Amino acid sequence: MIAERLPAFKIGSLLLSNPLVLAGISNLPFRLLAKEQGCGLVYTEMISAEGLVRNRKAVGGLMKSCPEERPLGVQIFGSNPQSMAAAAKIVEECGAEVVDLNMGCPVRKVVSGGSGAALLKEPKKAGEIMEEVRKAVSIPLTVKIRTGWDEKNLNFLEVGRIAQECGVDALTLHGRTRRQGYACKADWEAIAQVKRHLRIPVIGNGDLTSPEAVSHFFALTGADGAMIGRGALGNPWIFRQILQLFRGGLPEPPSLEEKEKTIFRHLQMIIDSRGEKHGVREFRKHLLWYTRGLRGGSEFRSQAANWVVHSEVVEHIQKFFEKIREWDLSA
């Protein structure tokens, strides 16, 4: 059900239950948690187009999905138009509802190969990629960009217009340049500006870390959708809270019991998916996010890097929450 005061949202032929989008920051277990909390659309982590075309079996696991998380967007990156088109075709054949072209990733390893945000320096090439991918697939196509390579080259309007002309169904704009990374306040005015100039839906990204921030963002920008990335890490409940706020209620934070239960469930989901060794290693970073703001969290996080066995992690989590409850009873 779409929240009453949230704008209607449609990407091409795909109608979403609401305009809240999870950035491609995690794998299936966390995407499922976000969907359960009301997220309208989730994206996979970035997948190399070259890798997918050359070794579909090895890379294709990143597209692992299940009916409960649908609709699913698969995000690919690359710099070769033909490879990107071929990879997008594979994405469509695998059953994804949306294919997303990442032209905003600031990571050095990605941009050094001419992919991600590096394409902002080559709008013509970016357009060639969009055009080839659009011809290759019939499912909705989205593109994610930043405001520019640096503050002297803010070409988001130019790239946005190219995307629209190439038949892209929606544009996601992160309100920072590649040079800025994540170190400064996101430029929501840039998102408002591109929304005024384009006919296709615009999804905004950057500093959407609370229900109140998302409410202010929609009011200020008029954007069609809100993509939440870092604000959801360790906090899948943010989607539920946003919907509560827009329906006229008060955002309800998770209880201590709900948070503990979700942590245990998330841990088990990752281990079921990745195995104990890799699952525990991956989940340690989630523990760092889940315990932000909790009493005793700093000490807990300082020890987490040493845990390598499932039972050990479970034991430490149980003791951590027991200690919090003891503190609450004695307060």
Catalytic residue among 39, 94, 105, 184: 105
- The pLDDT value recorded for residue 18 is 94
Instruction: Give the CATH number of domain 10-246; options: 3.40.309.10, 3.40.50.300, 3.20.20.70, 3.50.50.60.
Output: 3.20.20.70
Evaluate if residue 291 carries a pLDDT over 70. yes
Predicted TM-score (pTM) of the model is 0.94
Mean pLDDT of 185-208: 97
Q: Quote the percentage of the chain above a pLDDT of 70.
A: 97
Residue 59: what pLDDT?
75
- Note the pLDDT of residue 63: 87
Residue 3 has what pLDDT?
A: 41
Mean pLDDT, to the nearest integer, of 311-320? Answer: 95
Provide the 8-state DSSP code for 139: S
- Spell out the domain ranges in the chain: 10-246, 256-330
Q: Could you read off the pLDDT of 120-155 as tens digits, one per residue? A: 999 999 999 999 999 999 999 999 999 999 999 999
| Upper half-sphere CA count for residue 3 (Cβ side, 13 Å) | 22
Fold (CATH) for 256-330: 1.10.1200
**Which pairing describes strands 14-15 and 202-205: parallel, antiparallel, or unpaired?**
unpaired
CA distances for 237 relative to 38, 220, 232, 277, angstroms: 9, 24, 8, 27
End-to-end CA distance of the chain: 41
Q: Is the predicted pLDDT of residue 4 greater than 60, yes or no?
A: no
Q: Max CA-CA distance within the chain?
A: 65
Grouping H, G, I as helix, E, B as strand and the rest as coil, residue 59 is: helix
Respond yes or no: is residue 166 known to be catalytic. no
- CA distances 2 to 5, 130, 195, 248, 287, Å, are 8, 30, 21, 13, 31
